[in-house]
Amino acid sequence: MRAILAAALATLAGLCPAAAVAADPSAEAARSYSVRAVAEPASLKAGASGRISFAIEPTGAVHVDPKAPLKVTLSTTPGLALKKSELGRGDSVQAGQGLRFAVPFSATAAGPQVVKAKLDFFLCTDQWCVKQVRELTVAVDVK
């Protein structure tokens, strides 16, 4: 009887570490979406206008949490002027389980210019919700 009990306990002890190691939500969240950004147009003359578009695109059962805080902070080199430098949920367009943003800009000086975007949002499934912070850079050539 003791041998059976010892064998059962040994088997359970061997199983518990494997069972206790669940999927890491942070790692899973980081692999379950993509972000992309583009300047439209990517090349323009000084004085012309364009827009920076970017998107958070989750995959599978993952979604951008509709109730959690969401903030996008934009900055640029001196040759571009953005219509807005901070965005929130009200500035987004729902795109499936993700979000899309578009920000108008005007080219004020010739040369290579850059727009930087910092996206701060929560990505969720039915089992977890994890904060994500991503930074994007978009190049704009002003002639």
Instruction: State yes or no: pLDDT of 62 exceeds 60.
Output: yes
Q: What is the DSSP string of the chain?
A: -HHHHHHHHHHHHHHHHHHH----HHHHHHHSEEEEEEEESSEE-TT-EEEEEEEEEE-TT-EE-SSS--EEEEEE-TTEEES-SEE-GGG-EEETTEEEEEEEEEE-SSEEEEEEEEEEEEEE-SS-EEEEEEEEEEEEEE-
pLDDT in tens, 6-60: 444 344 344 434 333 346 888 888 889 999 999 999 999 999 999 999 999 999 8
Whole-prediction pTM: 0.77
Q: Is residue 119 pLDDT above 90, yes or no?
A: yes
Give the per-residue pLDDT at 23. 67
CATH architecture for residues 24-142: Sandwich (2.60)
